[in-house]
Amino acid sequence: MGRVLIIGAGGVATVAAHKVCQNPDVFTEVMIASRTEKKCIVLAEILNRKYGTNVKTAQVDADSVEQLVRLLGSYKPDIVMNLALPYQDLTIMEACLQTGCNYLDTANYEPKDEAHFEYSWQWAYRERFEKAGLCAILGCGFDPGVTSIFTAYADKHHFDEIHYLDIVDCNAGNHHKAFATNFNPEINIREITQKGLYWEDGKYIETEPMEIHKPLTYPGIGPKESYLLHHEEIESLVINFPTIKRARFWMTFGQQYLTYLDVIQNIGMSRIDEVEYEAPLVSPQGKMTTAKVKIVPLQFLKAVLPNPQDLGQNYDGETSIGCRIRGLRNGQEHTYYIYNNCSHQAAYEETGMQGVSYTTGVPAMIGAMMFLTGLWNKPGVHNVEEFDPDPFMDQLNKQGLPWHEIHDGDLEL
């Protein structure tokens, strides 16, 4: 039915690639391309052995529009799944436009030199995608992604007006490392050290990082301290569902994680500006010497932290992510909680990756499937909640992320 190009070969891309290969009737041809082709080759070998597929690989620096245009122009994918980093969103979108390819990602654009994310940079491509008759699907992971689709589903089936939306993200897993992040450490630490932000009565309210927190009870897990964070889906959801009076995002963190994070910040290791470092060097004559080099502390930290892709084997426990919604139906106030719980071990057994990569890679594959089967295909640049949620929700149940509903329970919020 369609040819797909996956860019990136990290945790999320690995899960998405497994899922793509599990659906050969939809994804008839597959290529994985990334900065380090070796990782793509190792992954392709695993996939081809396990599923009898013929996954191809390529090397690409996705920061270079020129290299991307060359690759996309020769492979001619129907859709490009951008599962590299948010830094590459704009270059990949640009290359898609130049070569007539459709586009999907899981995280909105962030400039490398500023820890700041918002949709405006990608929404600026709307007219060009529309005119080219191409579709760009933004934010198709779990959060953003499934949480936005849960909201669209609630709006379609359970509410006349959504008034209060709280997205709740709990990771109750244990990877048995002193400190590690569950997805790319650089992106993760940039996200959670930012100021908090939420939407109330038509405007954004800023908080200090981690200032607002409270225990919330997660199904099958119990109470966990949950912290209000700024998260990207809030920006599009309050536009696409204008009856929303308040929208917030909560994430759980353990005390040990927060203590480490505090230290990382206090000693300057979360800095994203360049610092000079006296690095050891071997001179052309073979003598040991030193030279001043510029390094970004957070990128250096990433190099010494555990790789999120290697956490799976000893990871136990589960994630629980969902939407707690209050609003009106037939003039009556109603509450609704929709969520998925995902086991780290089950994810590892199926794909070799932990649950956070799994909960992101599966929806990315379903989004591409929605596009290739013609269920989600409209020219322009769209956030996932702008499409019909029903066929996507149906696939979540079939592809390993079943969801559950609680009507008129206590939302605690």
Residues within the interface to ligand NDP (CB under 6 A): 8-13, 34-36, 39, 60-63, 83-86, 88, 106-107, 141-145, 183-184, 187, 308-309, 356-357, 360
- How many Cα atoms within 13 Å fall on the side-chain side of residue 7? 32
Give the residue with the Cβ less far from ligand NDP, 210 or 321: 321
Q: How far is the CB of 182 from ligand NDP (least distance, A)?
A: 7
**Residue 236 belongs to what H/E stretch?**
helix 233-240
Q: How far is the CB of 89 from ligand NDP (least distance, A)?
A: 8
**Range list of β-strands (E), 139-262:** 161-171, 196-200, 203-207, 213-218, 222-229, 246-252
- The residues near 22 (Cβ < 8 Å, ≥ 6 apart) are 51, 399
Give the residue with the Cβ less far from ligand NDP, 267 or 303: 303
Give the residue with the Cβ less far from ligand NDP, 327 or 355: 355
The 8-class DSSP code of residue 129 comes to: H
Give the residue with the Cβ less far from ligand NDP, 144 or 380: 144
Give the residue with the Cβ less far from ligand NDP, 78 or 186: 186
- In sign, the C-alpha dihedral spanning 209, 211, 212, 214 is positive
Q: How many C-beta atoms lie closer than 10 Å to residue 409's C-beta?
A: 12
Closest of 171, 87, 217 to residue 356, by C-alpha: 171
Task: Write the DSSP string, 25-63.
Answer: TTEEEEEEEESSHHHHHHHHHHHHHHH----EEEE--TT
Q: How far is the CB of 39 from ligand NDP (least distance, A)?
A: 5
Compute and round to an integer the Cα radius of gyration of the chain.
Answer: 21
Q: How far is the CB of 362 from ligand NDP (least distance, A)?
A: 10
Q: How far is the CB of 28 from ligand NDP (least distance, A)?
A: 24
Measured distance CA(80)–CA(100) in Å, rounded:
11
Give the residue with the Cβ less far from ligand NDP, 326 or 383: 383
Is residue 149 exposed (0-12), middle (13-18) or buried (19+ Cβ within 10 Å)?
buried
Give the residue with the Cβ less far from ligand NDP, 61 or 390: 61
Distance of CA 116 to the CA centre of its chain: 15
Q: How far is the CB of 185 from ligand NDP (least distance, A)?
A: 8
Q: How far is the CB of 11 from ligand NDP (least distance, A)?
A: 4
Q: How far is the CB of 66 from ligand NDP (least distance, A)?
A: 13
Give the residue with the Cβ less far from ligand NDP, 326 or 382: 382
Q: Which residue is nearest to ligand NDP (CB)?
A: 10
Q: Give alpha helix (H) positions in 52-201.
A: 65-75, 89-99, 120-123, 126-132, 146-157, 185-192
Give the residue with the Cβ less far from ligand NDP, 22 or 147: 147
Q: How many C-beta atoms lie closer than 10 Å to residue 372's C-beta?
A: 21
Distance of CA 90 to the CA centre of its chain: 16
Q: How far is the CB of 354 from ligand NDP (least distance, A)?
A: 10
Q: How many C-beta atoms lie closer than 10 Å to residue 268's C-beta?
A: 11
